[in-house]
Structure 1
Amino acid sequence: MPLGDSTRAVHAGLPPLTPGQPFLPGPVFAAPFVLDPVTGGEGIDWYGRPHNASRRHLEAAIGELEGGQCLTFATGMAAVGATLLSLLHPGDTVIVPADGYFTTRAFARAELATRGVTVLTAPTAGPYPSFQGVRLVLVETPANPGLDVCDLAELAAAAHAAGALLAVDNTTATPLGQRPLELGADLVVASGTKALTGHSDLLLGYLATRDEELLARLRSWRDSTGGAPAAFDSWLAHRSLATLDLRLGRQTANAAAVAEALATHPAVAWVRWPGRPADPSYAVAARQMARIPGVVTFELAGEAAVGRFLSAARLVIPATSFGGLHTTADRRAQWGDDAPPGLVRLSCGVEDTADLVADINQALDAV
């Protein structure tokens, strides 16, 4: 019988249980490990950059949830950078999201173009250029911050027909919201800093794939360049996974209520949340996603209006990133993102729904 999301999250990646030991062994702190005097490092851990038991437990856990094999990195951008720099070579062409995380787009333009890689952009909801001659298609769905959604099965079929690889940024959805590998993607890339670990207390990135060749290439890149997460961060992330289903459940419920409140308030120009039937991405999201994330995007009149909203709110904390226990709001234009000055990405936390909606309404009234 298939296990439910909470059961899978609680038990993912745990080593065999040993009487007298904790469910999840504490972090392994080591740079060099003791070597066998005869065989040396063969078949055992020998150095902390490529080897760490805490990291392996976390990778096993995320791999179980994503449905593939996982490789963790120090940050989400380290995982993105490894993907782009290890898989693309001079003469290749890559397509990146025009409306996804702007640092990915900026990195591709700054670092790949100088290496002879052609960088094209396409909006998440399309239209896409021809995939003929393209080496890699990178999409982010739902896109951050606009929350558009694309049909991954359709996109995977089109990319593979042209000989391209499809990589999917699964940060916003998390593996409990969407499993891109089952929909045909070759690679999942994500920031575990956000909702996956959900406590706003660590940085983490990861890749997941079912392709052994891709995994070996990316592992070689990570182990050589040293972009692995630290032992304590790995342990802390694994510990946090156990409550993933519970956290997402409250965040999604809060987002549904908040989106409706925003949609009916005169201070709000527009609101996006793929779980609303009125949202342009609703049909694709309802078909493709197991749950809609707790992120809602909306627009106020401008920078000053956002300032008044955040100053009046008691439960909405101004902060970048998203997916944490506390409700936060981020005016994306302040970071150089190509977004309207009044665009707000609101990340719903796990507060009581009625309290959160009441606070947001009174803060909007102040606008």
Structure 2
Amino acid sequence: MGEDEIAAVTDVLRSGWVAQGPRVAEFERRFADMQDAHHAVATSSCTSALHLALVVAGVRPGSHVVVPSYSFIATSNAPTYVGASPIFADVDPVTGNITAETIAAALTPETTAVIAVDQGGVPVDLDPIKALCEPMAITVIEDAACAAGSVYRGRPVGAGAEVAAWSFHPRKILTTGEGGMLTSTNAAWALRARRLREHAMSASAASRHAEVLSGPEEYAEVGFNYRMTDLQAAVGLVQIERLGEVVRRRRELAAAYSKEIAEIDGLRAVEDPSYGTTNYQSYWVEVREDYPVSRDGLLGALARAGVSARRGIMAAHLEPAYADHRGVVVPLPATERLTRNTLILPLYHQLLASEQQRVIDVLRDPAPS
């Protein structure tokens, strides 16, 4: 965040229109252009975008939605909002993403959708997943929460998805404070999502206020309050301009980490898959059995050196919220290994070389002094 974001928000405040309005519409257009998407619908969060995606895709109560357990819990929660059940699939132990093979093992006769996550910004291999699901009329929803700036087979992540959901939470490298986006190649789905996010009104608040005497709006179905504000969108418009440089800098820092970690026995760092590039929204490391200390031991060593690292991605099926859930239909060994043995290292645009070296020094020698 910088002076440009402050100025953009100030301009919105001075305009007298701070709710969903012209800045949101411009942000949608700019984001769609950047991600090579047909339609973009701004929302209050990625979770609300996932919810809307399931609704417009026609996922019904009682149906099953295959999801990776190895993801932030919102990925699993969204299907429950529409009365469906998340069915947990395992992930590839290298990328941390679900694959066509792990999805196939988790399919049930009630499966109507799959949520494929670009975990930590690593692009999911979407084409084989679509090839598996589309002949069975199973909708593939891409959870691209972390992936703005990542590339899949030469195109921006999400470009090939029928519907995708994005996050602009402060942990993401393109942020609006809070906020999300739904993108889609399906014009009817995008139109319905646009109405549903605003209580399913037949005319938006912005369009009604543009008229001196507007006709009464109608509400054809039960909708939601999932709107983004112009204040948030103004920040997002500045952030879009920064994204390319931020991704370049993050990949530079990640390369410096990876060069050092490659020489340390017992550690494995996340890396680009063969079919794309990651924005390194999260730089995670797996602590293997031949490393001198456990994952939690390494977290403690980093903390003693004044380094704030974090445990790796959670496994939703191990959380109390899903303790009595019947969504585990296949073993999840890679999920459980990764959530138990990974941690996320500090990586941010302003990270100094001296700070990164402090992290690397601990990785090389984690033993207490």
Secondary structure of 1:243's match? helix
Q: Deviations over 1:58-114 (max 9, x none)?
A: 111111112221111122222223323554212433111222223322453x545xx
Please, which of 75, 96, 104 is the counterpart of residue 67 of structure 2? 96
- Contact map agreement 2:21 2:230 (CA 8 A) in 1: yes
Q: Which has the higher contact order (CA 8 A, sep 6+)?
A: 2
Counterpart amino acid of residue 111 in structure 2: V
Whether 2:87 is the aligned partner of 1:120: answer yes
Runs of 5+ in structure 1 lacking a partner? 1-21, 34-47, 276-281, 319-328
Secondary structure of 1:56's match? helix
Indicate the residue corresponding to 1:248 in structure 2: 247
Q: Distance in 1 between matches of 2:35 and 2:157?
A: 8
- The verdict on how the C-alpha distance between 1:263 and 1:214 changes in structure 2, with shifts beyond 3 A counting, is same
Q: Distance in 2 between matches of 1:140 and 1:61?
A: 23
Please, which of 170, 173, 189 is the counterpart of residue 144 of structure 2? 170
Counterpart amino acid of residue 251 in structure 1: R
Indicate the residue corresponding to 1:155 in structure 2: 129
Q: Deviations over 1:267-324 (max 9, x none)?
A: xx4323122xxxxxx32xxx2x2555253212451434302213314xx5x3xxxxxx
- The verdict on how the C-alpha distance between 1:186 and 1:340 changes in structure 2, with shifts beyond 3 A counting, is closer
Counterpart amino acid of residue 121 in structure 1: F
RMSD over aligned CA atoms reads 3.3
Secondary structure of 1:207's match? strand
Q: Distance in 1 between matches of 2:314 and 2:115?
A: 25
Secondary structure of 2:102's match? coil
- The verdict on how the C-alpha distance between 1:24 and 1:59 changes in structure 2, with shifts beyond 3 A counting, is farther
Q: Give identity over the alignment, percent.
A: 13
Q: Distance in 2 between matches of 1:353 and 1:188?
A: 34
- The verdict on how the C-alpha distance between 1:66 and 1:25 changes in structure 2, with shifts beyond 3 A counting, is farther
- The verdict on how the C-alpha distance between 1:226 and 1:90 changes in structure 2, with shifts beyond 3 A counting, is same
Q: Distance in 1 between matches of 2:180 and 2:282?
A: 19
Indicate the residue corresponding to 1:62 in structure 2: 31
TM-score by length of 2: 0.69
- The verdict on how the C-alpha distance between 1:171 and 1:346 changes in structure 2, with shifts beyond 3 A counting, is farther
Q: Alpha-carbon deviation of 1:244?
A: 0.4
Whether 2:195 is the aligned partner of 1:220: answer yes
Secondary structure of 2:197's match? helix
Runs of 5+ in structure 2 lacking a partner? 1-6, 91-97, 200-223, 288-293, 320-335
- Contact map agreement 2:147 2:157 (CA 8 A) in 1: no
Whether 2:196 is the aligned partner of 1:211: answer no
Q: Distance in 1 between matches of 2:226 and 2:31?
A: 18
- Counting only pairs closer than 5 Å after superposition, residues 1-367 of structure 1 correspond to structure 2 as 26-27=11-12, 51-68=20-37, 69-86=39-56, 87-108=58-79, 110-112=80-82, 115=83, 117-123=84-90, 124-125=98-99, 126-129=101-104, 130=107, 134-141=111-118, 143-144=119-120, 150-178=124-152, 179-183=156-160, 185-193=161-169, 194-197=171-174, 202-224=177-199, 225-266=224-265, 269-275=266-272, 282-283=273-274, 287=275, 289-300=276-287, 301-313=294-306, 316=307, 318=308, 329-332=309-312, 340=339, 343-351=342-350, 354-364=353-363, 365-367=365-367
- Contact map agreement 1:97 1:121 (CA 8 A) in 2: yes
Q: Distance in 1 between matches of 2:313 and 2:279?
A: 24
Secondary structure of 2:238's match? helix
Counterpart amino acid of residue 264 in structure 2: H
Counterpart amino acid of residue 78 in structure 1: S
TM-score by length of 1: 0.69
**How many residues matched?**
295
Counterpart amino acid of residue 189 in structure 2: L
- Contact map agreement 1:259 1:296 (CA 8 A) in 2: no
Counterpart amino acid of residue 308 in structure 1: A
Secondary structure of 2:151's match? coil
Q: Distance in 2 between matches of 1:127 and 1:66?
A: 27
Secondary structure of 1:189's match? strand
- Contact map agreement 1:255 1:295 (CA 8 A) in 2: no
Q: Alpha-carbon deviation of 1:131?
A: 7.6
- Contact map agreement 1:70 1:207 (CA 8 A) in 2: yes
Secondary structure of 2:12's match? coil
- The verdict on how the C-alpha distance between 1:58 and 1:150 changes in structure 2, with shifts beyond 3 A counting, is closer
